[in-house]
Amino acid sequence: DTAVSQTPKYLVTQMGNDKSIKCEQNLGHDTMYWYKQDSKKFLKIMFSYNNKELIINETVPNRFSPKSPDKAHLNLHINSLELGDSAVYFCASSQPRGRYGLETQYFGPGTRLLVL
């Protein structure tokens, strides 16, 4: 049973297109995240949702729009794709903040986006 799943795993598309990546978690977590990992492997937080409410919206172009229909799902829609959007996008989930900080994040397998 996959704890955090993402679809699609690979996404190849043309510049200017609109695409979506879906994420689902069956861990019963309240908090979900989107990260972008660039070619140098640097992990950058993009968005964080807690129980369907947006908590973090880092400096991300507004072409990126997250949507959380329920607390088990967090989708990422990207408009007008650009070459620089090529990266691996990871979804993650965790329990809410604990006594010492944010709880362990469990990651999906990643979506490898290539914009041509």
Partner 1 sequence: AQKVTQAQTEISVVEKEDVTLDCVYETRDTTYYLFWYKQPPSGELVFLIRRNSFDEQNEISGRYSWNFQKSTSSFNFTITASQVVDSAVYFCALSETNTGNQFYFGTGTSLTVIP
Interface of this chain with partner 1, residues 26 to 85, rule: CB under 8 A: 40-43, 45, 48, 55-56
Contact between 97 and partner 1 per CB under 8 A: yes
Q: Which residues contact 7 (CB under 8 A, 6 or more apart)?
A: 21, 22, 111
Which ranges of 5-94 would DSSP assign to H, the alpha helix? none
Which of these segments, 12-20, 64-72, 75-83, 89-97, binds partner 1 (CB under 8 A)? 89-97
Q: Which is nearer to partner 1, 14 or 100 (CB)?
A: 100
Q: Which residues contact 20 (CB under 8 A, 6 or more apart)?
A: 75, 76, 77, 78
20: its two tokens: 């979506």
Applying CB under 8 A, the site for partner 1 has a residue count of: 26
Half-sphere exposure of 80 (CA within 13 A, CB side): 3
Tell me the closest approach of the beta carbon of residue 104 to partner 1, in angstroms: 5
84: its two tokens: 């620089």
Tell me the closest approach of the beta carbon of residue 58 to partner 1, in angstroms: 8
| Residues lying near partner 1 in the complex (CB under 8 A) | 40-43, 45, 48, 55-56, 88, 90, 92, 97-110, 112
